[in-house]
């Protein structure tokens, strides 16, 4: 059964990553990127790396994505940007991310209900965390950092284009969306 859950999380991660790269609106791309990171955390958990899964959620899907949100907010284009954003924020745009999030939530609930063992914790030193991250989990850390770098480059590219277009007086119409 874990194999089915693994392939479901992998398909969600792959699909949401493709959607993150192909979205014209940076906010929509950011939402799909967060879903991709959450699906990657489920994959880490299923592979027996719960620590990497928690780090994926706390560091990447949590803290760093908040920074991306602030960057997108700082790319405010004034009144024209607000009008364009209101046209983009129709309820139909939330169907895809909502379906993917519901699938991930169902998968997490199923995994937690299926687990019979009690999780216990112990205090560990920062040195032990570093040795684990850059020892057996180094591939997971590097893959996550490359995903983050791709999101950062995409966000910069999209934001730069919007700023250049705003300065030149270009206003997107319905065909550009």
DSSP state letters, the chain: -HHHHHHHHHHHHHHHHHHHHH-SSHHHHHHHHHHHHHHHHHHHHHTT-HHHHHHIIIIIIIIIHHHHHHHHHHT---HHHHHHHHHH--GGGGHHHHHHHHHHHHHHHHHHHH--SPP------HHHHHHHHTTTTHHHHHHHHHHHHHHHHHHHHHHHHHHHHHHHT----GGG-
Considering the entire predicted model, what is its pTM?
0.56
Domain count, the chain: 1
Where in the sequence is the domain holding 125, given as residue range(s)? 2-176
pLDDT in tens, 43-100: 988 888 888 888 888 888 777 777 777 777 666 655 666 666 666 667 777 788 888 8
Q: What is the CATH number of the domain that holds 50?
A: 1.20.120
């Amino acid at each position: 059964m874990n194999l089915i859950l693994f392939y479901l999380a992998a398909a969600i991660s792959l699909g949401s990553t493709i959607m993150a790269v192909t979205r014209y609106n940076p906010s929509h791309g950011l939402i799909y990127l967060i879903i991709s990171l959450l699906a990657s955390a489920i994959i880490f958990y299923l592979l027996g790396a719960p620590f990497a899964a928690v780090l994926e959620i706390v560091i990447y899907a949590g803290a760093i994505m908040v920074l991306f949100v602030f960057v997108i907010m700082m790319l405010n284009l004034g009144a024209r940007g607000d009008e364009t954003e209101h046209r983009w924020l129709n309820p139909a745009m939330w169907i895809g991310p909502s379906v993917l999030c519901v699938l991930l939530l169902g998968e997490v609930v199923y995994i937690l209900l299926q687990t019979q063992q009690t999780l216990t914790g112990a205090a560990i030193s920062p040195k032990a965390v570093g040795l684990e991250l850059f020892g057996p989990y180094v591939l997971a850390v590097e893959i996550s950092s490359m995903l983050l770098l791709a999101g950062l480059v995409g966000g910069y590219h999209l934001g730069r284009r919007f700023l250049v277009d705003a300065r030149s007086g270009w206003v997107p119409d319905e065909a550009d969306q």
